[in-house]
Amino acid sequence: MSAENVAPHAPRLNERSSKTLVRARPRHARTRSLSLAAIGLAPVLIAGGLLSVGGPSVSTQTVTLTAGSQLTLIGHGLGHGRGMGQWGAYGYAKRGWSATQILRHFYGGTTAGKVDRPEISVILSGKNSVNVHADAGMRVGGQTVAPGQAVSLSGTTATITNGCGGGVVRTVTATFVEPLNMGPSRPPGEFLKFCGSNQAYRGALGFDGGRVANRLHIDDYVKGVIPKESVPGWADSGGAEALKAQAVAARTYALSAIAGGKKIDDTQNSQVYGGVAGEDPRTNRAADATAGQILLNAGKPAFTEFSSSTGGYTAGGRFPAVRDDGDAASPNHDWTATVSAGSVGAAFGVAPCAPWRSSRPTDSARRTAGRSRFARSARAARERCRVKRPAASCS
């Protein structure tokens, strides 16, 4: 199943090489590539989001490999697997689950909560200066800026000009330029736009700690996040409830990070956020339908991580590990990749080991083992090969 079959606007799947996994939105989960660092898992012939090493439910056999031997890695899922699986949410939504049911399934132990549209500040990583205009006018330093005028900020000084780059009208003291009304869900004419690119943002634009930032209501922020982190087209194929669940998860995740003292930005370091340009009417409806809704853990916003595809089981951790039958809809539910034994040896700085042990979880092991980290297999492989290097890692 490909993303094209899910929705007309879902991005195409790309297969960069035999060492790279297929990637499809949702894209909050970092792309997992089978780099040489990851190839260190090959001696146990298990890789991916789901794996099991050792124990009575794993069948093993000894095989002799040469540098030219080809190893097939069998894996499941894409991403860290903690919290909600986005493809799983979509799969469950198509089965008739509500957003509430989806959230309860993936975020066990949390309770529903409500916030009254607090303002947050989002660092815009690709911006270095603030020079903005708005069709309906705007406000800066307590003064109204007329339509057709622009404002540029430098330190604590705001310079009002006749249009972008025009003559100076006056200067005032300010660090943020605000729309005429800071309320949520304002009309497009009030959106602030950067001069030159005309890239529009809801809320105010200015400087936060010396960096360009967008200050806006949490629900307006979520509108710019959902289409970047999920697939708007899911709403057209029975997945609207998955987008609502995504809205609650994204809103809660941001508030949890802020409560923990973290600055949030518009990249995958936090959540991908694209401002008005990235919005979609279908995901905006999901944000509006869940306005103010969050999940609480011990009375505080829960750290609602999510990733693209769990491979059938979540990782556990902050939330109980659960089976994810909805993930069957994911194009990365099951995957394989082929590497050479020589590449494996090169990854560990040794000649190919012979003999190596091939391990494969039985069906019962896969049902009960859940997920495990790559490092577990990498350590076992390294010990057998007597490699004197740090454990392999995978991103």
| Share above pLDDT 90 across residues of the chain, in percent, rounded to a whole number | 64
Domain end marker among 286, 303, 320: 303
In a domain, 310, yes or no: no
Domain end marker among 288, 303, 318: 303
Arithmetic mean of pLDDT, 65-76: 81
Distance from C-alpha of 366 to C-alpha of 347, rounded to nearest angstrom: 27
Give alpha helix (H) positions in the chain. 36-39, 86-94, 99-106, 218-229, 240-259, 281-289, 341-348, 363-369, 374-385
Arithmetic mean of pLDDT, 305-310: 96
273 shares a domain with 172: yes
Distance from C-alpha of 82 to C-alpha of 84, rounded to nearest angstrom: 7
Q: What is the pLDDT of residue 276?
A: 97
Query: DSSP letters along 306-331, please?
Result: EESB-TTB---SSS---B-GGGGG-T
205 shares a domain with 57: no
Q: Choose the weakest-confidence range: 171-185, 225-239, 245-259.
A: 171-185
CB 90 within 8 A of CB 286: no
Q: Which of 286, 311, 312 is nearest to 225 (CA)?
A: 286
**Has residue 35 got a pLDDT over 50?**
no
Cα 205 to Cα 23, 125, 198, 200, 212, distances in angstroms: 33, 13, 13, 10, 7
3-state secondary structure of 212: strand
Of 183 and 225, the one with more pLDDT: 225
CB 31 within 8 A of CB 23: yes
DSSP character at residue 78: B
Q: What is the pLDDT of residue 389?
A: 33
In a domain, 106, yes or no: no
pTM, to two decimals: 0.78
**Has residue 390 got a pLDDT over 90?**
no
3-state secondary structure of 91: helix
Q: What is the pLDDT of residue 184?
A: 80
**Has residue 356 got a pLDDT over 60?**
no
Residue range 158-176, pLDDT digits in tens: 999 999 999 999 999 999 9
Arithmetic mean of pLDDT, 323-332: 95
Question: Where residue 69 falls among pLDDT bands split at 50, 70, 90?
Answer: confident
In a domain, 157, yes or no: yes
In a domain, 165, yes or no: yes
Arithmetic mean of pLDDT, 65-88: 88
- From the number of C-beta atoms within 10 Å of its C-beta (0-12, 13-18, 19+), residue 18 rates as exposed
274 shares a domain with 344: no
The two three-digit tokens of residue 276, written as one number: 């008005």
Rounded to the nearest integer, the mean pLDDT of the chain is 81
361 shares a domain with 253: no
**Has residue 257 got a pLDDT over 80?**
yes
Number of domains observed in the structure of the chain: 2
CB 238 within 8 A of CB 95: no
Domain end marker among 261, 288, 303: 303
The two three-digit tokens of residue 227, written as one number: 């289409």
Give alpha helix (H) positions in 135-239. 218-229
Q: What is the pLDDT of residue 48?
A: 37
The two three-digit tokens of residue 236, written as one number: 């057209």
Arithmetic mean of pLDDT, 49-70: 59
What is the distance, to the nearest Å, from the Cα of residue 260 to the centroid of all Cα atoms in its chain?
A: 19
Distance from C-alpha of 62 to C-alpha of 74, rounded to nearest angstrom: 18
Helix/strand number for the chain, H first, E second = 9, 22
206 shares a domain with 60: no
203 shares a domain with 164: yes
CA angle 301-192-180, nearest 5°? 85
In a domain, 57, yes or no: yes
Distance from C-alpha of 131 to C-alpha of 243, rounded to nearest angstrom: 34
Q: What is the pLDDT of residue 346?
A: 79
In a domain, 218, yes or no: yes
Say if residue 26 is preceded by a cis peptide, omega within 30 of 0. Answer: yes
Arithmetic mean of pLDDT, 82-88: 97
Q: Which residues pair with 216 in a beta bridge?
A: 120
Arithmetic mean of pLDDT, 137-144: 97
In a domain, 104, yes or no: no
152 shares a domain with 287: yes
295 shares a domain with 196: yes
Question: Where residue 391 falls among pLDDT bands split at 50, 70, 90?
Answer: very low
Q: Which of 325, 366, 320, 318 is nearest to 88 (CA)?
A: 325
CA angle 342-343-345, nearest 5°? 65
The two three-digit tokens of residue 190, written as one number: 């009030």
Q: Count the helix, strand and coil residues of the chain and give each as a percent rounded to the nearest 5.
A: 30, 25, 45
339 shares a domain with 190: no
Arithmetic mean of pLDDT, 84-95: 98
335 shares a domain with 271: no
249 shares a domain with 371: no
CB 189 within 8 A of CB 104: no
Query: Structural domain of residue 40, as residue ranges?
Result: 3-80+328-385
In a domain, 323, yes or no: no
Of 228 and 53, the one with more pLDDT: 228
Q: What is the pLDDT of residue 343?
A: 81
265 shares a domain with 146: yes
